[in-house]
Amino acid sequence: YYNKPTQEGLCQYFREVAQSTSLPLIIYNIPGRTGVNVLPETVARLREIKNVVGIKEASGSLQQASEVLHRCGNDFILLSGDDGITLPMMAIGGRGSISVVSNILPKRVAQMVKAALENRWEEAQKIHYELLPWSIHLFAETNPIPVKAALAMMGKIGEEIRSPLTSATPATREKLRPLLQQFGLL
């Protein structure tokens, strides 16, 4: 979509979507892709819609995520949309992640989230730092280029990228290969 909506436009749009279904809805805030940040006060307005149950927060701001929870309450589901800050987001009340890294290491990401939810912070922190290189290298190029390259290297998928995206560069592949080997995925 070419035009950047206002906060009011976002409210009207999500309200219309919510009214068209009885399914629970998760707002996806990814200003780096859309060019528009769904502000905490807008999320609080949307929270008033009964089937808006949470947000995948990918603004990269823990302050914003904290404000969302403060305004929306603890029953509102805050999910990290940024692998590198999933653990810090859980420390402020997040409940999990919609993750890119979990495409490669689903069990390990789940173990980190579970440890955090069970207040086993040392274990969660250890896993967080183990996964950190993935959070860096899977975003060396525009997502989903690196994750598709990694999955193709693992033999899980054919590497198909829709234009105008391109295949991963040799430099990205050179960074991914040792990680895949280290985790026994090649």
Catalytic residues: 28, 56
Instruction: State the Cα–Cα distance between residues 180 and 186, nearest whole angstrom.
Output: 6
Q: Where are the alpha helices (DSSP H) in the chain?
A: 7-19, 31-34, 40-47, 62-72, 86-91, 106-117, 121-137, 145-153, 170-182
Residue owning tokens 């730092």: 129
Integer angstrom CA distances of residue 25 from 3, 19, 55, 118? 23, 11, 8, 26
Helix, strand or coil, per DSSP, at residue 55: strand
List the beta bridge partners of residue 185: none
> What is the rounded CA–CA span in Å between residue 171 and residue 135?
16
Q: Residue 37: which of 45, 46, 28 has the closest Cα?
A: 28
Q: Are 79 and 57 in contact (CB under 8 A)?
A: yes
